[in-house]
Amino acid sequence: MSEAKSEILMFQVGPRVFAAEVYDVIRIGSVHDVPPEDVVGATALGVPFARRRGIVVGDHAAGTERALAVDQVIGIRSVPETDVHPLPAFAAACLQSAAVTGFVLVDDSPTLLIDLPTLVREGPAAPADAERT
């Protein structure tokens, strides 16, 4: 019997690696291929060092596409659904961003699972938030 799997996109912003559902991604490209006003740089995840790549996601509320600037797209991992965990209730109640939805255990280490449409909708993080990341 085959185990149910989730397709996870791994990407890096600043010094940290994050994960997101592949389903949410429309395409990946250079940030220079996207109009500057549609590029989201600083978010709750922090500020990318170099803004090399853009992960394009749909902003369903606005009916547009926006690109999250990242330093590196690491690749796609197929992980068992049993390795995908929701955010602990207390952490969810304390975070200032609704874009952090849970964790994926990658090599037994929890990697933050990010809801990309929510992240680009939230837009730039307040300076204090970015400092904490």
Partner 1 sequence: MPGPREQQADAQGGGGRAATPPEAWFFCLRILGGRYAFEAPLVTEVVRLGPLTRLPAAPSFLPGVFTHRGEVLPVLDISQLVGHSAVAIRPSTRAAIVHCGPWKVAVVSDAVEGLVAIPRRALEPPPAESTGVAEFMSAVARDRAGAIAILDLPRMVEAARARAVPAGSAPA
Q: How far is CA 40 from CA 23, 34, 54, 78, 99, in A?
A: 19, 10, 9, 27, 14
| CB of 23 or CB of 107, closer to partner 1 | 107
State which amino acid sits at residue 77: R
CB of 55 to partner 1, least distance (A): 16
CB of 33 to partner 1, least distance (A): 26
CB of 65 to partner 1, least distance (A): 20
State which amino acid sits at residue 95: L
Q: Residues interacting with partner 1, by CB under 8 A?
A: 16, 44-46, 85, 87-98, 100, 102-103, 105, 108-112, 122-123, 125-126, 129, 132-133
Give the up-direction half-sphere exposure of residue 70: CA atoms within 13 A in the CB hemisphere: 28
